[in-house]
Amino acid sequence: MPTLAEFVKKVSFAEIAKGLQLTFKHMFVKPITNQYPHQKRNLPDGYRGVIVHLRYDDMTEKCVGCALCEAACPSHCITVESAEREDMPQKRYAKRYILDVTKCVFCGFCVQACPVDALASSKEYEMATDNKRNLIMDKEMMLALGDKYFPNRQKRPPYTEDRLAFFNRVKEEGFPTARQDKTPPVQDGKLPVKGAA
Amino acid sequence: MDVTLRLVVILVEIAAVLGVVLLHVAYLTYLERKVLGDMQDRMGPMEVGPHGLLQPIADGLKLFFKEDIIPAGANKIIFSAAPILVLIPALIGFAVVPFGRDSLHIGPVEFKPYITDINVGILYILAFASLGAYGILLGGWASNSKYSLLGGLRSAAQVISYELSLGLALVGPILLSQSLSMVKMTEAQGGGFWKWFIVVQPIAFVIYLICAIAETNRLPFDLPEAESELVAGFFTEYSGMRFAFFFLAEYANMILVSCIATVAFLGGWHAPLPFLEFIPPVVWFIAKVYFFLFFYIWLRATVPRLRFDQLMAFGWKIMLPLALANILITSTVVYLLKH
């Protein structure tokens, strides 16, 4: 048997009135809509967009063509064709570097694998196109995107030149013989044991 | 006034009312989308024009240029006739609605604030409103689709159940004003909001409001077009301009029932307080109509759809007895007060 209060509540549509009150209140709540093409989202710093190539501050590209990114890529979307540089025969670079964005899963493993930090995840995500072939990026496109998203470039580390000098010396003089002034490693048919003497 | 001039005046009035009503219908869709959006913390249409103001025009153009498909198994004649059968009754009811108080005089010509004042105004609107149900039923049947047929059948059942209570709820104001004419009914309520029939007929008002929502197939009574069960109900198979006709009819019906509610319960074009009469009567009328329209949209944003057996039980077991009891009490009181 319903009580009088319950009966009055039912007859006066109290619950519907409560609902109407709530919806009316929401008329004055600011909409959460993001008007996308006009108003873009602020992406977080760790956002992983399209992979781009970076340059050093002297505008030389960082990539050394080691193809570790190709090995690390889980979806096999990176193809690296490495070659020696004409001017510096000891140094290598990526003669062709192809990133297939249609296959890329934006995992960022290539960025982690890169030994010289030549790759980076940009915040580029508006890649929609009417031609699939536009999504197969070569190194020039990736470098251009890198220039757009990473204008602050790393200084070219000096050790690179040192090593170049070292290699040039090796080329001219042959390999240096090690430890000429020290005792030879093998003495009386025994290997020297540290702390034995 | 000679006959030609009178004919011209009537035609001009019909064109004006039709144009204004259709414009309001178009922008009612915009209002609904905006208000629904606001209530759901969205924005609604924003792209076409400033704040999406040209959206109804874009929608109309789109529907006009769309391909008009008649399904292979459909009955072509009835399929084509159904949208017209729905739209005409919805628009024809506006002929007797008094929009304002004063006539407009241009030279010898007098433009009345209504197209015509017939002495059975409310009966005329109710009769044509029932005709609209045929259009829905026939459209649902002629489409040769199970969703359409189910939608049409539901609509027929719903309209019959709720039209009874709707008509009976309007008997209260008719008894009080002693007239079926919309103009006389409005005039009977002049002098302040305490003279409005909503004060003496609150139950009839609530019954009318609920039945009017059911009549126009709006949420929470939109079972004929329940999109989650029946795709789009009776107009599932319609496209292009025929679909637009159904759409227009639905919104025109919304405005029509709001107009009747305004005339019968909220005093038509009368101002709520005597000192507010400097505001033109037309403004009061439109404001009251839009209050109802806003309430419909508000309700749509709030309440979920009823189950079909709930709908039927509510209509027959609660609304109809209440409406009958209301008539009994009202007529007794009116009789006793007169003698």
pLDDT at B240 over 60: yes
pLDDT at A187: 61
The minimum CA-CA distance between B30 and chain A, rounded to whole Å, is: 16
β-strands A51-53, A119-121 pairing: antiparallel
pLDDT at B247 over 70: yes
Q: What is the DSSP letter of B138?
A: H
Q: In 3-state terms, what secondary structure has residue B110?
A: strand
> Of the candidates B39, B41, B303, which has its C-beta nearest A16's C-beta?
B303
Burial class of residue B74 (count of CB atoms within 10 Å of its CB; 0-12, 13-18, 19+)? buried
Give the pTM.
0.78
pLDDT tens by residue, B101-158: 777 777 777 777 777 788 888 888 888 888 888 888 888 888 888 888 888 888 888 8
DSSP B11-65: HHHHHHHHHHHHHHHHHHHHHHHHHHHHHTT-----SSSGGGTTHHHHHHHHHHH
Cβ distance A61 to A145 under 8 Å?
A: no
CB contacts under 8 A, A 12-51 vs B, are 16, 19-20, 22-24, 26-27, 29-33, 35
In terms of CA atoms, which chain A residue is nearest residue B294?
A: A24
Domain count, chain B: 1
Contact B303 A19 (CB under 8 A): yes
Could you tell me how many CB contacts below 8 A there are between chain A and chain B? Answer: 35
Mutation target vs A (from B302, B319, B322; most A CBs, 10 A cutoff): B302
Give yes or no for B304 touching A (CB within 8 A). no
Residue with tokens 């989308």: B33
> Of the candidates A20, A26, A35, which has its C-beta nearest B46's C-beta?
A35
From chain A, the residues in CB contact with B318 under 8 A are none
Residue range of the domain that includes B277 = 3-338
Pick out chain A residues at pLDDT < 50: none
The interaxial angle of helices A14-26 and B3-39, nearest 10 deg, is: 90
pLDDT at A113: 92
The minimum CA-CA distance between B101 and chain A, rounded to whole Å, is: 33
Tell me the ipTM for this assembly: 0.72
pLDDT at A76: 92
Please state, for a pLDDT cut of 70, what percent of chain B lies above it: 99
From chain B, the residues in CB contact with A31 under 8 A are 37-38, 41-43
Report cis status (omega within 30 of 0) of the bond before B98.
no
Amino acid at the residue B35: V
A100, containing H or E segment: strand A92-100
The minimum CA-CA distance between B47 and chain A, rounded to whole Å, is: 9
Tokens of A197: 């003497």
Structural fold of domain A51-149: Alpha-Beta Plaits (3.30.70)
pLDDT at A98: 92
Each domain of chain A, given as residue ranges in start order, spans 51-149
Q: How confident is the model at residue B5 (pLDDT cuts 50, 70, 90)?
A: confident
What is the pLDDT of chain B when averaged over all its residues?
A: 84
Q: What is the DSSP letter of A56?
A: B
Contact B299 A22 (CB under 8 A): no
Query: Residue B34 to residues A30, B46, B294: CA-CA distances in angstroms?
Result: 13, 9, 11
Going by C-alpha positions, the residue among B82, B86, B58 that lies closest to residue B70 is B82
Greatest CA span in chain B, whole angstroms? 66
What is the pLDDT of chain A when averaged over all its residues?
A: 83
Going by C-alpha positions, the residue among B159, B167, B162, B188 that lies closest to residue B176 is B188
Q: Any bridge partners for residue A84, and if so which? A: A92
